Amino acid sequence: MPKPNTDADYPSVICTVDVVLLTLKGQSLHVVLLRRKSEPFMGLPALPGGFVHTQEDATAWDAATRVLREKTGIVSPYLEQLASYSGAERDPRGWSVSLVYYALVPLEALSLQTEGLLLAPVAKLPKLPFDHRRIVDEAVARVRSKSQYSSLPVYLCQDRITLPRLQAVYEAVLGEPINKVSFRRKMDEMGMLEPVEGELEGGAAHRPAQVYRLKKAYRKELSVVTRGLNS
């Protein structure tokens, strides 16, 4: 009679978290990558990631927050789960599952002196290991979709911003122009900004623009509208 299989007959599943950390550089969307320090794919740039620490991480979100802090020094105000990626072929070490999150930060928040850290434009990615190219592509698609109707791009901005500069950030994320009147109407509908009293930003060819900041209630939550920015 055949001996029944036990748990010992099956190798453990590799469980990791990866973070797609996006920022704006030169008005184009970039992803933060780190050169791998060990095999497999040692030396290749990859998404910040690491194993789940079962004794330390209460949830996958906690693991992603820890990995992001340890690998990049960033504590993101907004971190959202993208999807899970799994299978026997995605990692040469064995059957694996990665719980992937994405985050947005202003360029000024990054320490570009971090060893092995580099920024890559999402439109021209280098060779990436595992299924990281697919993951980046799907994260960018998610961000662009949500940016059509939410306050998500404000996490790419510093604390204070004018409406013209905020519109430029939205356009950089979406990769398309936005009607100025429609954009300002949507910002009013979202109700996420408050003017900084007495603070204006001058421009050579334009009248001074009011400076705004994100209301406290929206610093960790998104504001949304029912229709897209150009509608």
**Active-site annotation, residues:** 115
Residue 173 near residue 156 (C-beta atoms within 8 A): yes
Number of Cβ within 10 Å of residue 1's Cβ equals 3
Closest by Cα among 143, 207, 138 to 170: 143
Residue 77 near residue 157 (C-beta atoms within 8 A): no
Question: What DSSP designation does 227 have?
Answer: S
Number of Cβ within 10 Å of residue 109's Cβ equals 16
Residue 193 near residue 215 (C-beta atoms within 8 A): yes
DSSP per-residue letters across 75-143: --S-EEEEEEEEESSS-TTSSEEEEEEEEE--GGGS-TTSTTEEEEETTS----STTHHHHHHHHHHHH
Question: What DSSP designation does 217 have?
Answer: G
* Rounded Cα distance, 56 and 145, in Å: 34
